[in-house]
A and B are shown apart, each in its own frame.
Chain A
Amino acid sequence: MQKSLQDNLFSDLQTLLGERARDGDFELGLYGKDGSVLEGRPSIVCLPQSTSEVQEIVKICRRYDTPFLARGSGTGLAGGAVPIGEPVIIATAKMNKILEVDLDNRIAWVEPGVLNLDLSNELLPLGFHFAPDPSSQQVCSIGGNVANNSGGPHCLAYGVTSAHIAALEVVLPDGQIAQFGDLTADGAGYDLRGLFVGSEGTMGITTRIAVRLTQNPPEVRTLLLDFADVRDGAAAVSAIIAAGLIPAALEMMDKRAIEIVEAFVNAGYPTEADAVLLVELDGLPGGVEYGVELVRSVATRHHVGNVRVAADEKERALLWKGRKNAFGAVARIKPDYYLHDTVVPRGKLVEVLEKVYRIADAHDLIAINVFHAGDGNLHPILAFDSSEKGVLERVHAAGRAIVTASIEAGGVLSGEHGIGLEKRDYMGMLFSAHDMATQDLVREAFDPDGFANPLKVLPTGSRCSDSFGQHVPDGAWV
């Protein structure tokens, strides 16, 4: 951007936001990254506190022909919040109020910067929670959950974010404010709410969100099953679901994952096992008991070793803490990781897992698997040290092979982390040119000039108006 233009843009934003508009060198660097390994750089960072401020920022950006990009907590794993082409970042972190809890309608209106777990903690005394629970739930924002249509261990039974969003207030890319969805079960017209959820910031910025509240189950039981062979574990997953049971959560970890997680939490994860399943059952007491016995008997048929039932809430919390911190704990063996997110049919879990190990071996990398087994959502982690020469090429090659293997097995590109920048150019592996052109039309209906989170989700070339910088950062395997 031209220097004088940039100065004027900044001065207008400063007039609006005061010291909450930033362009300091050090600070800009902080908003260049999210939870992925990708990196960019914004031109300006704005920290609005209200819908009208967001609206004004968008209008000012439009006046200066500058793209903008919403950012929640910056934990996305697909580079969705990574600024490409020097956009203005609109960070929602300061918009973190729970505005209204309406128990009659089982709805809460929240601002987008509210942290997922903060909301559930706040609702705890009322007997409710917000069901989507990404492993990053202590820090990710509800706005980010909406934008990525995030999932979590308990989404197996409860459904992903989209099922828990009743309505949204959105600042559209042209600066208008709209509400999508309402509190009735099935509003008239197209489900624009459903369209917006998962749009990764490319259709505008949500500034108020009506989330559905889920009642806390009266009884919860958490089981840890260990297996001497990862194949038995994977087979048990399919068998549990085939037996007619949908547990609240059904997670799997392989040997390496168990070791690193145990080093962090000391929860008594069996480090000698080849794989563990973390199974949670909830509901009415009798049903839960029945479920526990069913899981036990199915697992026994698949050569389970030990079946540990968490004795109390403390033990249960500790087991989950291990699972939910697994990605970060990978840094204990290597300083960098590349996390993949593909979905395969449950029946193909064993086959694809074995391929993942083979691919990692062939590229001289370490693969770690900890994932939402119940819905076949694989999260192979490739651990590496970026200071090793040439390692990134190997990581990229292995990543591509893993994605290819998943798609060949009848799977899809992303289970929950979104497409963002990371998987953008893989869209062609799954969709035909015609499919993508149609998706482009949908995007253009919201953002004809390409201002909102440009260069994300859909590959360049699939839209003609992507004229902002084409630079893709080092380390991206797009």
Chain B
Amino acid sequence: MKKTPFDLAIPVEDISSCVSCGLCLPHCPTYRATQEESASPRGRIALMRQAQRDSSIDDAFVGFMDSCIQCRGCETACPAAVPFGSMMEKTREALATQTSYQPRWRRFGYSFLGKPRLLRLGSIGLAVLQRLRMVPRRLPLPKLPFVQKALIDSGSDVWLYTGCIMDAWMRETHLSAQRVIESTGAGVKFPLKGASCCGALHVHAGLAPEARALAKKTMASFPGEAPILVDSAGCGAQLKAYGELVGTEEAEVFSRRVMDVHEWLAERLEQLPTTQEPRPKVVVQDPCHLRHVQKAHESVHQVLEQYVDLIHLNDDGLCCGAGGAYATFHPEVAKEVRERKLSLIRSVEAEEVASANPGCLLHLQAGGVRVRHPLEIIDGLLTRES
């Protein structure tokens, strides 16, 4: 296979921190789906090491790197604290700048995310096609609305982050989150104009400069000191990482204000209203960016447990295969990874699945199970009661 020059700058202390013990392998969704060393964290690190040593790569290398879901399950599993996520981001960035890894059409697609108006228009177009039954059911799309309900501020105790696709497709979730936050007595404020997309998908794709530009716009849309609550695990993880991404004091301060909405609620359990509603049986799926990156999944459990009988999956938080844009570009692997999760879900008796990340939610839903955001489930119970 043809080799091309490649300059990969991963700090030596990071790349040498992997001792090849293999303990991460079973926690890696792509290894689980393939049993291939090249699709494992240990293997990918060894490949990075090889690329760095030889200063060259081939197409196979690009494929091995591209097949990683960036779920970071390997980080949780790794006793040696190997910073896999940042190593993979550096590799993707080097690929995007030095090779044709991100062709123009893909960059164009990503740029869409930062343009709310275009995104909205596109979504309306999709909604039309959906009504005409021209969108295959297996695609991970929710039922898209023609008209969106308005987001109305109710105070200024906390900000509620809205995001790009999630706001265009799933605004109802934000409204549920708003109502649950308000039920504790707090007032919610929505972002000023300019906060379009957090840039997570760009970072994953190696488009760090684009992500930095989005980060700066986002930071400017949340003035003041109020906490910034996020109801999407992927966005929350990215907002919390602005400190590293942007590298300024201001970004550090911003990131410290960010909380997953469940983290904030878990600190106020006694303020949450109780209900007389029967407790449904709900199985919780821990989104990777909540469990392995933010390490905040237990707050979702705590909040949900106030209202439902919670069932946990015995899989150490193995990824469901959604991975932001991953399922779009790697539908086969994503499906295989999802099958593992689905069979576990089907093996327990539950009415529905709770997922605190829109990407996982839609991906699982397309696999044929009923999934809602935890706060939609809670909002439903609270609303029914009143």
Residues of A within 8 A of B (CB): 24-27, 29-31, 33-35, 47, 73-75, 91, 93-94, 96, 113, 115, 117-118, 121, 136, 138-140, 264, 325-332, 335-337, 386-387
Contact with A along B196-207 (1 / 0, CB 8 A): 000000000000
Q: Are B19 and A328 in contact (CB under 8 A)?
A: yes
Across the interface, B38 reaches (CB within 8 A) one of A26, A75, A94, A96, namely A26
Check A328 against B79 for contact (C-beta < 8 Å).
yes
Instruction: Say whether A94 contacts B19, CB under 8 Å.
Output: no
Q: For residue B231, give the distance in angstroms from its CB to the closest CB of chain A.
A: 28
A96 cross-chain contacts in B, Cβ below 8 A: 35
Residues of B within 8 Å of A387, CB to CB, are 12, 16
A141 to B147, CA, bound (A): 55
A138/B35 in contact, CB under 8 A: no
CB < 8 Å neighbour of B79 from A94, A326, A336: A326
In the bound complex, residues from chain B placing their C-beta under 8 Å from that of A264 are 79, 81
Q: Which of these, B1, B19, B25, contacts A73 with CB under 8 Å?
A: B25
- Knowing A74-B37, A335-B16, the reply to whether A26 touches B50 (Cβ < 8 A) is yes
Q: A56 CA to B78 CA in the complex, in Å?
A: 37
Which of B25, B78, B80 has most chain A Cβ within 10 Å?
B80
B26 contacts which chain A residues (CB < 8 A)?
115, 117-118, 138-139
- Chain B residues contacting A386 (CB-CB under 8 Å) are 16
Instruction: Tell me if B385 counts as interface (CB < 8 A to partner A).
Output: no
Contacts of A118 in B (CB 8 A): 26
* Shortest Cβ-Cβ A-B pairs, 10 listed: A331-B80, A328-B79, A325-B79, A93-B35, A329-B79, A335-B16, A328-B21, A30-B37, A75-B22, A139-B22
A379 shortest CB reach to chain B, Å = 13
Query: Is the CB of B101 closer than 8 A to any CB of chain A?
Result: no
Smallest beta-carbon distance B102→chain A, Å: 21
Evaluate contact between B38 and A30: CB separation under 8 angstroms.
yes
Bound complex: CA A140 to CA B26 (Å): 10
Q: Check A35/B20 contact, CB under 8 A, given A26-B61, A329-B80, A332-B81.
A: yes
**22-40 of chain B: CB within 8 A of chain A:** 22-23, 25-26, 35-38
| Cα-based distance from A27 to B61 in the complex (angstroms) | 9
Q: Are B36 and A138 in contact (CB under 8 A)?
A: no
Shortest Cβ gap from B224 to chain A (Å): 34
7 new A-B contacts, CB < 8 A, other than A26-B64, A35-B22, are A24-B1, A26-B58, A73-B25, A74-B22, A331-B17, A331-B18, A336-B16
Whether A25 and B58, one on each chain, are in contact in the complex, defined by CB atoms closer than 8 angstroms, is: yes
**Distance of A335 Cα from B14 Cα, bound (Å):** 9
Q: Which residue of A lies closest to B44 (CB)?
A: A30
Judged by a CB distance under 8 angstroms, whether B314 is at the interface is yes
Q: With a 10 A CB-CB cut-off, give which of A25, A47, A327 has the most chain B CB atoms.
A: A25
Asked whether any CB of chain A lies closer than 8 Å to the CB of B226, the reply is no
Q: Is the CB of B37 within 8 A of A328?
A: no
Complex CA gap A330/B17 in Å reads 10
Q: Which residues of B pack against A, CB within 8 Å?
A: 1, 3, 12-13, 16-23, 25-26, 35-38, 43, 46-47, 50-51, 57-58, 60-61, 64, 78-82, 314
Contact A35 B21 (CB under 8 A): yes
- Is B19 within 8 A of A335, CB to CB? yes
Most buried by A among B37, B38, B78, B81: B37
A138 touches B80 (CB 8 A): no
Q: Which residue of A lies closest to B46 (CB)?
A: A30
Nearest-neighbour CB distance to chain A for B301, whole angstroms, equals 13
A136-B42 Cα distance, complex, nearest whole Å: 14
- What are 28 A-to-B residue pairs whose CB atoms are below 8 Å? A25-B58, A25-B60, A26-B38, A26-B64, A27-B38, A29-B46, A29-B47, A30-B43, A30-B47, A31-B37, A47-B36, A73-B22, A74-B22, A75-B21, A93-B35, A93-B37, A94-B35, A96-B35, A113-B35, A115-B26, A136-B22, A139-B22, A140-B22, A328-B80, A331-B19, A332-B79, A335-B13, A387-B16
A30–B49 CA distance with the chains assembled, in angstroms: 11
Decide: B20 and A136 in contact? CB cutoff 8 A: no
In-complex Cβ contact of A327 among B21, B25, B35, B64 (8 A): B21
Q: Which A residues are CB-close (under 8 A) to B46?
A: 29-30, 33
Contact B21 A332 (CB under 8 A): no
In the complex, how many angstroms separate the beta carbon of A315 from the nearest chain B beta carbon? 16
| Bound CA span A252–B339, Å | 41
CA distance A335 to B45 in the complex (A): 14
Which residue from B12, B20, B25 sits with its C-beta under 8 Å from A34?
B20
Cross-chain contact B78 with A328 (CB below 8 angstroms): yes
Give, as a whole number of angstroms, the nearest-CB distance from B103 to chain A. 22
Set of chain A residues within 8 Å of B43, measured between Cβ atoms: 30
Shortest Cβ distance from residue B66 to the other chain A in the assembled complex, whole angstroms: 13
A134 CB, min distance to chain B CBs, angstroms:
11
Q: A118: nearest residue on chain B (CB-CB)?
A: B26
Question: Could you tell me the distance in whole angstroms from the C-beta of B61 to the nearest C-beta in chain A?
Answer: 5
Interface centre among A25, A26, A96 (most CB of B within 10 A): A26
